[in-house]
Every structure is written in C-alpha cells, then in structure tokens.
C-alpha cells in the first residue's frame, strides 16, 4: 500500500471509532477484510490510529475541528501538520489516496500554543483537575508523556534466565533491548519489537511482555518462598506470573470473569510456574498475601490504551471506585492474621488510590498500612499505584 492509501484506511477506522467502535476491533476487522495488506501496512495504519487517539484534541485542533470532536480526515490532517509534513503530498488525486484538501481545509488554523490547556495536553477538561490533585507541577509533563507511544517492555523470567542470557537469546532473533531502572527484571526493547511474539526467548518463557511499571508493582510486594498467594483480579495472569517468578509460591488466580483467565495455563507452562485457577467458592481464608489488581480508569496508562481517555465519564469513574471498594471488602476475610493485602491500579487519581485505601482502613481497623507508592509515567513506564496493608496478628 502507498503511504496515502494507509492514511485513507486510518481515516475510515478513526471515523468508526468516532461512531463508538473499539479501535482494536476495527483494526482487526479491517485486516480481515483487506487481506492484500502486509504486516508493514497493518502496523503503519495501527500507528496512525493510535497516535491520533493519543493526540485527539491537538490533532483535531490542527485539522481545523477547533474544540469539537474531529473526523478521521481532520485527525490525519492535524497529524501531518503536527509533524510539519506537507498534507498535499498525501491528500491528492492518486488512487486510494484521501481526496485533495478543500479550500476550507486550507484556511490557516489558530496556533496550538494558543489553544486551551486540555487541547494542548490532549486531555478531557474534566480530567485535568484529577491529574493536578495528584501530580501538581508534574501534571503537564505527565500528560505530555501520555501523548507519546509507550515503549515495549519485557520481563526477564528469573526462573529461566539471567538478564544477560535473555539479551543474548533475544539478539539471536534480531531483538535489541536495554535494562530499565524501574525494575531489575525490566528490559526496554530498542529494536525488533514486532518480532518479540515469534522469538525463541518469548516462546520458551525466558521473557514475558510486561510494562516496567507493572513489574515495579510486583517488586514492592513482601513475597517469600512458601507463601500462599491469591491474585484476586488475575485477568490474563501477568502479575501472577511475575509473582511466581520472584518467589516459590503456592499461587491461585481468580477473576470474576473466568474466561479472562484462559491464557494463564499456557503462559504458566511456558514460564515453568504453577498457577491454580479457582472460582470464588473455592478460595481459602488463610492466604499470606492477596493482590487486588483492580479494574480502574487506566489514567496512568493512556499512552498504551488511549481510547480509554475519551471513553471515561464521571459516572463510569464513580462506578469503578465502587467496584474497587467492593473488591477490597471481599478480600479482607481471605487473609490469615498477619497476612498482606496489596492493592494496585494503573491510575493516577486519588479517588481510585489513596482515597480508596483511606476508606478501607477507616472501615477495617484490623488492617494497618505498610507502604504505598505512586509510579509516575515520567519514570518511563505506565503510571501505577500500589498500597500494601497488613492484617493484625
Ligand atoms: C486490571 S485487570 C487485571 C490485570 C491482570 N492482573 C494482569 O496483570 O494482567 C482487572 C481485572 O479485574 C477483574 N474484575 C473486575 N471486577 C472484579 C471482581 N469484583 N472480582 C474479581 N475480579 C474482578 C476484571 O475481570 C479484570 O480482569
């Protein structure tokens, strides 16, 4: 496909997303319907779509949509202007290219520097005070970081490899990576990211794909060999696998949506780690540690999942905080006296983090705080919050 044809495809997909469709699903169905497109085409279209979702307000502004919600065409026009590329080279008469710019589209747009803050920082206005409450003077740099594509991180599985060995095996498949300060197990991929899922290092369980902030969460847990550990919101098991790689644990995974755990068995077998899955009725009340990696707004991870930034509403945020409180209340009786309750989100908002923990501690005098940590996207990975509490002996 030509660069202009890729742009056309991205415009169509962005219009579907604007109409309420999910970007990942639209990209998949586009690929199915256009089998002639190669992997490089699909990757380029995906990059166009996700870059535009991360920068929806600023690209819309530069594309002439002002503060309104931009069309796919306006977003791609804005993207080209943001990159100081010549739009006429791609919006042209060529086959499969988006039609040439109209006279109206050629009118000069007001400079982005004079746009409202939420437009410049690509943030919905109502979320700005929530970020500011936690981040203060770092709000603008953090939101700026969330406007850019997230790096691909790997976690070296210490059960099977040292960092040096994992790097060697990755290099044999043309993948280069460098250690990352957020965690001793974290590698940031610097070349060959698209080859990781087919690489020997990945297929033989030496490395897993996991954000560096996510790895730092696991580093903050008081894990010791022999502990009985429950991952209560296990999803695909990313954090359970990381816990199992750190210590010799008796690990159980649970999720309210059991179907989400279907990948845990193959991933665990690749990693050489035993993880049992259980329904709520099969859980014990004597765990040494329960991790609740709760559903959240994702406000620390909008670089990776940008559609969530625009889909979030005050109602949905309120609903999430109620689910978070309910999960904490559900797991409290699952711990033995002296056991640890760990609460994690990929959110930067106080209402999902410190306020949830304060409300829980006020209602549950048996628990005391041990530590908490906010991991900023400025540290290089996604933003996360982790709090560790201990149940009284
Ligand atoms: C942030 S995701 C977990 C990601 C996962 N821990 C990982 O590292 O890949 C949150 C998970 O919580 C689950 N969940 C939502 N409500 C729940 C509840 N009441 N009890 C248990 N799990 C719940 C969701 O199905 C979802 O899989």
Distance CA 90, CA 3 (A): 7
Fold of 3-122: N-utilizing Substance Protein B Homolog; Chain A (1.10.940)
C-alpha 278 to ligand 1 mean position (Å): 14
Ligand 1 site residues (CB inside 6 A) read 232-236, 238-239, 255-257, 260, 293, 295, 323, 327
C-beta of residue 72 within 8 angstroms of C-beta of residue 30: no
Residue 346 appears among annotated catalytic residues: yes
- CB-neighbour burial class of residue 75 (10 A; exposed 0-12, middle 13-18, buried 19+): buried
* Domain 213-391: CATH class, spelled out: alpha beta
Residue 234 near residue 258 (C-beta atoms within 8 A): no
Helix or strand (DSSP H, E) at 29: helix 23-33
pTM of the complete model: 0.96
pLDDT at 321: 98
Q: Is 293 annotated as a binding residue?
A: yes
Domain layout of the chain by residue ranges: 3-122, 153-210, 213-391
The answer to the question of whether 255 is labelled as a binding residue is yes
**CATH fold match for the domains 153-210 and 213-391:** no
Write down how long the chain is.
Answer: 393
What is the DSSP pairing of strand 384-391 with strand 335-345? Answer: antiparallel
What ligand 1 atom has the least distance to the C-alpha of 235? 27
Q: Which residues share a beta bridge with 189?
A: 177
CATH superfamily, with its number, for domain 153-210 = Sun protein; domain 3 (3.30.70.1170)
How far, in whole angstroms, is CA 126 from its chain's centroid?
A: 21
Q: Are strands 250-253 and 228-231 parallel, antiparallel or unpaired?
A: parallel
**111-138 pLDDT, tens per residue?**
999 999 999 999 999 999 999 999 999 9
- CA dihedral 66→71→77→81, nearest 10 degrees, is 40
What is residue 141's predicted lDDT score, i.e. its pLDDT?
98
The tokens for 114 are 């004079």
On whether ipTM exceeds 0.90, the answer is yes
The tokens 């943001």 sit on which residue?
A: 82
| pLDDT < 50 positions in the chain | none
Per-residue pLDDT tens digits for 341-392:
999 999 999 999 999 999 999 999 999 999 999 999 999 999 999 999 999 9
- State the residue for tokens 């043309």: 174
Tell me what pLDDT residue 387 has: 98
């Amino acid at each position: 496909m030509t660069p202009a044809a890729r742009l056309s495809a991205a415009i169509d997909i962005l219009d579907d997303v604007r109409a309420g469709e999910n970007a990942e699903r639209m990209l998949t169905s586009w690929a199915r319907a256009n089998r002639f497109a190669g992997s490089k085409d699909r990757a380029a279209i995906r990059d166009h779509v996700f870059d535009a979702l991360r920068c929806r307000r600023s690209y819309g502004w530069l594309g002439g949509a002002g503060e309104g919600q931009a069309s796919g065409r306006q977003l791609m026009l804005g993207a080209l202007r943001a990159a100081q590329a010549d739009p006429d080279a791609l919006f042209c008469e060529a086959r499969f290219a988006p039609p040439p710019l109209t006279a109206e589209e050629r009118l000069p747009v007001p400079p982005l520097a004079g746009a409202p803050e939420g437009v410049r920082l690509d943030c919905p206005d109502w979320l700005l005070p929530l970020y500011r409450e936690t981040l203060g003077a770092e709000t603008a740099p953090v939101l700026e970081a969330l406007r850019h594509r997230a790096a691909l991180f790997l976690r070296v599985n210490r059960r099977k490899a040292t960092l040096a060995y994992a790097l060697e095996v990755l290099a044999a498949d043309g993948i280069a990576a460098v250690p990352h300060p957020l965690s001793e197990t974290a590698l940031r991929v610097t070349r060959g990211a698209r080859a990781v899922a087919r690489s020997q290092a990945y297929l033989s369980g030496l490395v897993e794909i996991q954000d560096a902030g996510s790895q730092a969460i696991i580093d903050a847990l008081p894990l010791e060999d022999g502990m009985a550990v429950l991952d209560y919101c296990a999803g695909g098991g990313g954090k359970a696998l990381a816990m199992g790689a750190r210590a010799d644990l008796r690990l159980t995974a649970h999720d309210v949506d059991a179907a989400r755990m279907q990948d845990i068995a193959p991933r665990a077998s690749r990693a050489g780690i035993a993880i049992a899955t259980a329904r709520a009725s099969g859980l014990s009340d004597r765990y040494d540690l329960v991790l609740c990696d709760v559903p959240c707004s994702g406000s620390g991870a909008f670089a990776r999942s940008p559609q969530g930034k625009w889909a979030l509403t005050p109602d949905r945020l309120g609903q999430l905080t109620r689910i978070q409180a309910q999960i904490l209340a559900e797991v409290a009786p699952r711990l033995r006296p002296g056991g640890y309750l760990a609460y994690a989100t990929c959110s930067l908002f106080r209402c999902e983090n410190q306020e949830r923990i304060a409300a829980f501690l006020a209602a549950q005098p048996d628990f005391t705080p041990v530590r908490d940590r906010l991991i900023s996207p400025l540290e290089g990975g996604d933003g996360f919050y982790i709090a560790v509490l201990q149940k009284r002996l």
